[in-house]
Amino acid sequence: MRIATFNVNGVNGRLPRLLEWLEETQPDVACLQELKAPQDKFPKAAIEKAGYGAIWAGQSRWNGVALLARGCEPVETRRCLPGYPSDEQARYIEGAVNGLLIGCLYLPNGNPQPGPKFDYKLAWMERLNDYAAELIEANVPVVLAGDYNVVATDFDIYNPRSWLKDALLQPESREAYTRLLAQGWTDALRHLFPDEPIYTFWDYFRNAWARNAGLRIDHLLLSPSIASRLRDAGVDREVRGREGASDHAPTWILLDD
DNA sequence: ATGTCAGGTCATACCTGA
């Protein structure tokens, strides 16, 4: 079972790129972030034609998340984090596919920091951590996939120097993410490739892609009960190099059935 | 400090968020 996460940075503006990638890699599940489309502007027909059922939480202009399943409809279980009924930002959607619970998340960027956006990021991380702990406690088979907007360690960035003041590298962001992992989640890519530089995002600025000035911020976390099923993982880097690409590359795992 | 995207609007130029 192939499960992928892809921050598409505009699901309509980059639809040809998304469809091309789905066709090429045929993921069984695809978690999408940054739809940048209101609920009724999600390209449902094109996604269906590509062979995917979908649930999504749209929002005008910003945010927006979707969960795609090849050949079936995801059974929606949530469209926001528990205890967050007042969250107007579409950043979480969750569904069951083939006996797995898949959480698709778009963690707040948090810039500029300090400030209200950074406070919101940290608060959101606390909500996520609380909920993730519940899932672990319930021993549910879960994949939490998405754009975490956290650079976990200095090894997950080409060079931290010019990003030291960025919300993605702040000690508070990193500490919250570290606490999440410590609940028992397996960071799939780092688990399989502990010593390799891995990036999933290259800024549009500063010629970042050509310089391979990347960050690893898109993660797939496995709950303890499914960690032993992990067989392979990777980043579809070539997608980032294409005409009209998102600034993120799709990131995927392969689980034993 | 700079730079580049997308999507939106009291729109064909500028704003925000990233």
> Strands A186-187, A230-235: parallel, antiparallel or unpaired by DSSP?
unpaired
pTM of the model: 0.97
| Nearest Cα residue to A57 out of A27, A81, A23 | A81
| Nearest Cα residue to A236 out of A73, A2, A4, A1 | A4
Q: A165 is written with which tokens?
A: 């003041």
Looking at the predicted structure, is the pLDDT value of residue A151 above 90?
yes
Nucleic chain B: which protein residues 73-102 of A have CB below 7 A from it?
none
Residue pLDDT, tens place only, A74-132? 999 999 999 766 778 999 999 999 999 999 999 999 999 999 999 999 999 999 999 99
**Across residues A169-197, what is the average pLDDT?**
98
CB atoms within 10 A of CB A83: 11
- Percent of the residues in chain A that have a pLDDT greater than 90, as a whole number: 96
Phi, psi values for residue A228, rounded to 5°: -75, -10
**Alpha helices per DSSP H over chain A:** 15-25, 44-49, 116-137, 171-182, 188-192
Q: From the Cβ of A41, is strand B under 7 Å away?
A: yes
Residue nearest to nucleotide B8 (CA to C1'): A61
**Across residues A171-180, what is the average pLDDT?**
98
Residue pLDDT, tens place only, A204-224? 998 999 999 999 999 999 999
Q: From the Cβ of A60, is strand B under 7 Å away?
A: yes
Q: From the Cβ of A117, is strand B under 7 Å away?
A: yes
d(CA A89, CA A60): 10
Q: From the Cβ of A241, is strand B under 7 Å away?
A: no
Residue nearest to nucleotide B4 (CA to C1'): A204
DSSP 8-state code for residue A158:
S
Q: From the Cβ of A165, is strand B under 7 Å away?
A: no
Q: From the Cβ of A163, is strand B under 7 Å away?
A: no
d(CA A227, CA A130): 20
Q: From the Cβ of A8, is strand B under 7 Å away?
A: no
